Amino acid sequence: MGKVAVGAAVVCAAAACAVAVLVVRHRMRSSGRWARAVAILKELEEKCATPIGKLRQVADAMTVEMHAGLASEGGSKLKMLISYVDNLPTGTQVIYVYYVCFYLASHSICWLQALEMPNLSLILGTTSQVKVTAWDETGLFYALDLGGTNFRVLRVQLGGKEGHVVKQEFEEVSIPRNLMVGSSSELFDFIAAELAKFVASEGEEFHLPAGRQRELGFTFSFPVKQISISSGTLIKWTKGFAIDGTVGEDVVVELTRAVERQGLDMRVSALVNDTIGTLAGGRYYDNDVVAAVILGTGTNAAYVERAHAIPKWHGLLPKSGEMVINMEWGNFRSSHLPITEFDQALDLESLNHGEQIFEKLISGMYLGELVRRVLLKMAEEAALFGDSIPPKLEIQFILRGVDYRWKLDFNGMHPKA
């Protein structure tokens, strides 16, 4: 529950730093205006407060929702998703799951390369104990990560046990806002076109064996009901997306059709949720890892649950006695959450009013907009920017979380060009 404190602290700190910058450069014309600016910040700080007692209340409320979500479908704000692939052939079948995880600050890549699951059922969303026992695959593989305002494409040349990763390349592409609220075909055609450009830039150092089709791992970071290792139906859009005609449809089919329209000979071999991919990747490096949290454009968590603690699971229990649960905790809501007037206004004007409240409090998609709303109020009531309000400050989502990292020099306390 420290994530609540982190989100609130980021909003307060960003707003406070922005105000400090402006105060240094532009003196307030009157003590009355200054007093009002201070009062607005003070009130925000109080509303965002997350003392230990409140954090425990939030944790307890989430625990109640978790139990309800595990008990029955639709019984909780938390989906606690069960989605799976079972009865895989025995032997040494290898399922290639490509997961691209771009850490915002360093642009480092964390990806899950190969899962060898002999004599074991693989379940994504509800999964038997994650175990990665092989790192011996060779060849060229691609990955696509769609989960926010940008999507990423990766290609990697694997060299087997000795070479591991021979070479890797990736690109990040911004998604135009009109495509986030357009049609499914428009969105996936745009993605497929950019993917085709990326494939076309494939250098000689990447080698695709003769007669072998390019394979693509698809990381889709939205709530999905997993049907098989390479298919899943969309439950709902989040993170500012509101696309008609896709809910209930297989997202792999949508992507495959778009890829075919581009003339690409490429097969989607795996559909992966980013949070479960992160957990699986963590388990690869440390068998004691039992949970994973995504805190980026959106937010989510996955963890290892005891199979007998999932009443809504009616299948055969895995031999491990454990299952991985995809919580979809971005939809969590509680009266104990520190919700401010700015949070309420943002939610009211959002495309999914009343949903994804927890995500709107702490994720990167919304933090910049919350800061903008705080600054706008200070500009209106305390003349923070002088007698006139900057026109851009009235444009929703003009500020993004990434903007603060690059545009503010917190050491010099002045905005960069």
Q: Which residues are catalytic?
A: 239, 274
Structure token pair of residue 23: 């105060």
Q: Report d(CA 82, CA 290) in Å as an integer.
A: 17
Question: Do the Cβ atoms of 222 and 274 come closer than 8 Å?
Answer: no
Question: Do the Cβ atoms of 304 and 324 come closer than 8 Å?
Answer: yes
Q: Report d(CA 240, CA 355) in Å as an integer.
A: 11
Structure token pair of residue 88: 């895989």
Buried b (16+ CB within 10 A) or exposed e, 334-344: bebbbbbebbe
User: Taking the CB of residue 178, how many other CB atoms lie within 10 A of it?
Assistant: 9
Q: Report d(CA 289, CA 294) in Å as an integer.
A: 15
Task: From 76, 238, 69, 206, select the one nearest 141 (Cα to Cα).
Answer: 206
Kindly give, in sequence order, each residue whose CB lies less than 8 Å from that of residue 64, ignoring residues fewer than 6 positions away: none
